[in-house]
């Protein structure tokens, strides 16, 4: 009878640990800083194991320091947050060097930790589990669970600590990689913007004597459109550039953001599609300012997009609709067309799918492309 009850208890405890690992994974996914990651891990370790104290300690062996930003403690237990010298725990550090989690049921009777006995007494700890973190062979941190009284850790409890540690360290590594990526992106963006500035400077010097100022201006503005497109892309990380953001950026760069109303669902474009759309919108805005709705004070442009077609094979349909301006007149087409109209004809993916209408109410264009290609190119 007693045996059966123990089994039930052991089973619920095991279920509780499983549930804790699921919660841990969910919460770590939302964490944005390493302090948050460590806080979540500490809380889950401490509460699930009914420990006295749990937390993450950053270790600098060379500087002989360990540092706890903030730990979880049961009520009435003092936290050990702050910076401490590592020398009080030399025996412990030595034990951790083999890379395995360390479990001690009573530090007072563990003679291999005898050198650290004072250290443990100061922090009021009799039993513990520690899971080390290494970076390039160097001990750089550990997750700890402390108990004020002696405690016989079960194999399942030690495995649980290790599982929490593995997930926590993976989350920390991911945050670190993202931070590095951000720094790289910012540096790249900075260089790219400087390079665009230099291209414009070289153009300004080289084209000083050119009489056709309209052509020079058109060139400079296209480079600006390209630069602002890169800017939008580099401000996003991984997810691509939201279409509304691209529309706003290009129209702001053309000084037309007040007269153009963008609307549509959230769709993020990949890098190539973002650049194409930016250049395309720039040409449409330039034409509208020269001949269309934006050439008169009352004119407006609606930029609307939607998804059409069966789920999984949707097309993105983007409409550019001018109103309030002069009637649109289809351009005569003698000889080779200009860069702008060729670009517009190429559409969102460079392969067409463009319908241009020159109507009494103004110019409008409908562009269509598989949304999957726009997202991933």
Partner 1 sequence: MASSVPRETRPVVLVVEDEPILRMMAVDLVEDAGFEVVEAVDADDALLILEKRLDIRIVFTDVDMPRGIDGMKLAALIRDRWPPIEIIITSGKLMPRPEDMPARGVFFSKPYKPNEVVAELRRMVA
Task: Kindly tell me which of 208 and 333 has the beta carbon lying closer to partner 1.
Answer: 208
Question: What Å distances lie between residue 371 and 147, 313, 316, 336, 352, CA to CA?
Answer: 56, 8, 5, 31, 14
Residues in the chain: 377
Least gap, CB of 352 to partner 1 (angstroms):
31
Question: What Å distances lie between residue 74 and 15, 46, 159, 176, 364, CA to CA?
Answer: 22, 8, 22, 30, 67
Rg of the chain over Cα atoms, rounded to whole angstroms, equals 32
Question: What Å distances lie between residue 284 and 248, 300, 311, CA to CA?
Answer: 14, 13, 30
Least gap, CB of 91 to partner 1 (angstroms):
48
Integer Cα distance of 349 and 133 in angstroms? 47
Least gap, CB of 196 to partner 1 (angstroms):
5
Task: Kindly tell me which of 208 and 238 has the beta carbon lying closer to partner 1.
Answer: 208
Least gap, CB of 202 to partner 1 (angstroms):
6
Least gap, CB of 97 to partner 1 (angstroms):
43
Least gap, CB of 198 to partner 1 (angstroms):
5
Number of helical H runs and strand E runs in the chain:
10, 14
Task: Specify the DSSP element, H or E, that contains 102.
Answer: strand 102-104
Task: Kindly tell me which of 189 and 361 has the beta carbon lying closer to partner 1.
Answer: 189
Task: Kindly tell me which of 77 and 254 has the beta carbon lying closer to partner 1.
Answer: 254
Task: Kindly tell me which of 94 and 255 has the beta carbon lying closer to partner 1.
Answer: 255
Task: Kindly tell me which of 9 and 201 has the beta carbon lying closer to partner 1.
Answer: 201
Name the site residues for partner 1 (rule: CB under 8 A).
Answer: 186, 189-194, 196-202, 204-205, 208, 223-224, 227, 231
Q: Are strands 72-73 and 53-60 parallel, antiparallel or unpaired?
A: antiparallel
Q: Which of 372, 322, 316, 368 is nearest to 346 (CA)?
A: 368
């Amino acid at each position: 009878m007693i045996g059966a009850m123990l089994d039930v208890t052991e089973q619920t405890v095991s279920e509780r640990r499983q549930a804790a690992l699921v919660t841990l994974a969910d919460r770590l996914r939302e964490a944005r800083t390493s302090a948050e990651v460590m806080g979540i891990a500490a809380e889950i370790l401490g509460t699930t194991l009914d420990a006295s104290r749990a937390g993450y300690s950053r270790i600098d062996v060379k500087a002989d320091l360990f540092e706890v930003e903030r730990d979880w403690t049961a009520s009435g237990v003092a936290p050990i947050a702050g910076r401490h010298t590592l020398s009080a725990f030399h025996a412990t550090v030595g034990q951790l060097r083999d890379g395995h989690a360390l479990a001690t049921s009573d530090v007072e009777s563990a003679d291999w930790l005898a050198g650290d006995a004072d250290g443990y007494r100061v922090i009021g700890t009799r039993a513990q589990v520690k899971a080390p973190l290494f970076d390039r062979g160097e001990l750089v941190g550990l997750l700890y669970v402390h108990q004020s009284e002696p405690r016989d850790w079960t194999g399942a409890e030690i495995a649980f600590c290790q599982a929490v540690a593995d997930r926590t360290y993976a989350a920390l590594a991911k945050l670190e990689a993202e931070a590095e990526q951000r720094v790289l992106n910012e540096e790249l963006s900075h260089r790219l913007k400087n390079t665009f500035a230099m291209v414009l400077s070289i153009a300004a010097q080289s084209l000083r004597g050119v009489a056709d100022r309209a052509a020079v201006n058109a060139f400079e503005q296209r480079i600006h459109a390209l630069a602002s497109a890169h800017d939008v892309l580099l401000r996003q990380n991984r997810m691509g550039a939201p279409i509304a953001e691209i529309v706003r950026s290009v129209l702001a760069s053309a000084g037309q953001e007040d007269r153009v109303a963008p609307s549509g669902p959230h769709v993020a474009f990949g890098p190539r599609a973002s650049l194409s759309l930016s250049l395309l919108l720039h040409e449409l805005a330039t034409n509208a300012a020269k001949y269309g709705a934006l050439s008169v004070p009352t004119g407006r442009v609606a930029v609307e997009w939607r998804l059409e077609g069966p789920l999984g094979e949707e097309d993105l349909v983007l409409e550019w609709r001018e109103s309030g301006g002069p009637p649109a007149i289809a351009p005569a087409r003698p000889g080779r067309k200009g860069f702008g109209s060729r670009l517009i004809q190429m559409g969102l993916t460079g392969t067409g799918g463009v319908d241009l209408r020159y109507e009494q109410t103004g110019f409008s264009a409908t562009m269509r492309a598989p949304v999957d290609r726009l997202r991933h190119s």
